[in-house]
Amino acid sequence: MKRFSLTAVSLAMMAALASVAVAPVAHAADNEVVIGDIDDLSGPYSDVIGKGGIEALNMAIADFGGKVLGKKITVLTADHQSKPDIGSAKFREWADQNGLNMLLGGSNTGVSIAMSKVAAQKKVPFIAIGAAGASLTNADCTPYTVHYAYDTNALANGTATVMTQNGGKTWYFLTADYAFGTQLQDAATKVVLANGGKSLGAVRVPLAASDFSSFLLQAQGSKAQVLGLANAGADTINSIKAAQEFGLNNTMQLASLLAFISDIHSLGLKAAQGLYLTTSWYWDADEKTRAFGKRFFEKMKKEPTDVQAAYYSATLTYLNAVKAAGTTDPDKVMAELKKAKINDMYTQGGYIREDGLMVHPMYVMQVKAPADSKYPWDYFKLVKKMSGEEAYGPLSASTCPLLKK
């Protein structure tokens, strides 16, 4: 009798365990579409997109009506802490357990490369915004990756071209020591050489460095005319401040190869005046951009960066593709994305190429002197508008292995 009871209990326990083992993975409910955002929310790039990007994402969802295909839209957010393993692990978790339909990822090329690989494995559309590395639509391209806002080629074709043509022929680079910095320095060097200039060297600087003095001394010793800042976010701000403390700006022109309006606001016009930069969008460009800027400012008490505006645009572009496809099936949605013409407050005539690159106009700006700024956040004057093709180059130059050559 006792043996029978123990056996029965054991069988019951085994059955219970088996039911757990074969239980289906938790996915999103049939009545929701899940959008994720994995970005730097606490580190050197947190002001670039960060909480403002989440706000822009939610603004887009609200403007779309809060639902798509009759399903509510759920938003997940996480901080990748500029660590590829954290970003890719969270992406896998959401894809496996939360029914993730699309991921927005920002502000670190190394993390975005890692997440692109997950996008290919899980077949989840990934829109990279803020990460600049052009390899995302070249060697690291996938069928499910879209690169929005800008890349290292467009940034270099803007700032480096203008500065070299204006007499800055010799360059020395202060380069963020990871994939983004390397790609930006390489792209800028090619532009400098093509315009008759010369690179005199570079120094690699760890992400979120606390002291730039030794690096700037090396730059000063190069005797170059231009100090190319192949960094971003807090690193750009701190390197410019340190360069001015050293008086380096009196002997070298500073070229910020990737800077944001948030950087200029932090520096102040007195410190940043005259700086050249390339951007994909400016809040004070026209009525539509100013209207978006006003709404964003009411929420965040500051004007949006170009990549925060891109978060808004990319979210709407994705939701419109889902609507057009009539499904969240990733392959059908990607096909719609690559057929879309993007005309909104962020850009006009934008389109997503076969390699996943969103091609659209880019703008070379110069930071105004304090006397020329007429109202708060009136920071930029337009130097040059580049067509998408001029900024990014032709599709034939892409090395994306997906392309049929």
Domain boundaries, the chain: 32-150+286-361, 153-279
Give pLDDT, residue 4: 35
Residue type, 223: K
pLDDT band at residue 191 using 50, 70 and 90 as cut-offs: very high
Condensed to tens digits (0 to 9), the pLDDT of residues 303-313 reads 999 999 999 99
Please give the pLDDT value at position 29: 57
Question: Tokens 């190869």 belong to which residue?
Answer: 257
Write out pLDDT tens, residues 241-260: 999 999 998 999 999 999 99
Q: At 362, phi and psi to the nearest 5?
A: -130, 160
Structure tokens of 384? 């040059």
Q: What is the pLDDT of residue 405?
A: 56
Give the pLDDT score at 327. Answer: 98
Contacts for 332 with CB less than 8 Å, ≥ 6 apart: 325
* Predicted local distance difference test score (pLDDT) of residue 255: 94
> What's the rounded mean pLDDT across residues 351-368?
98
Q: What percentage of the chain exceeds 70 in pLDDT?
A: 93
Half-sphere exposure (Cβ direction) of 200: Cα atoms closer than 13 Å: 16
- The superfamily (CATH) of domain 32-150+286-361 is Response regulator (3.40.50.2300)
Q: Do domains 32-150+286-361 and 153-279 have the same CATH topology?
A: yes
CA distance 356 to 163: 29
DSSP conformation letters of 152-214:
HHHHHHHHHHHHHHTT--EEEEEEESSHHHHHHHHHHHHHHHHTT-EEEEEEEE-TT-S--HH
What confidence score (pLDDT) does residue 5 get? 39
CATH value of 153-279 in 3.40.140.10, 3.40.50.2300, 3.60.15.10, 3.20.20.140 = 3.40.50.2300
The pTM score is 0.91
- Average pLDDT taken over every residue of the chain: 92
- The predicted structure's pLDDT at residue 106: 78
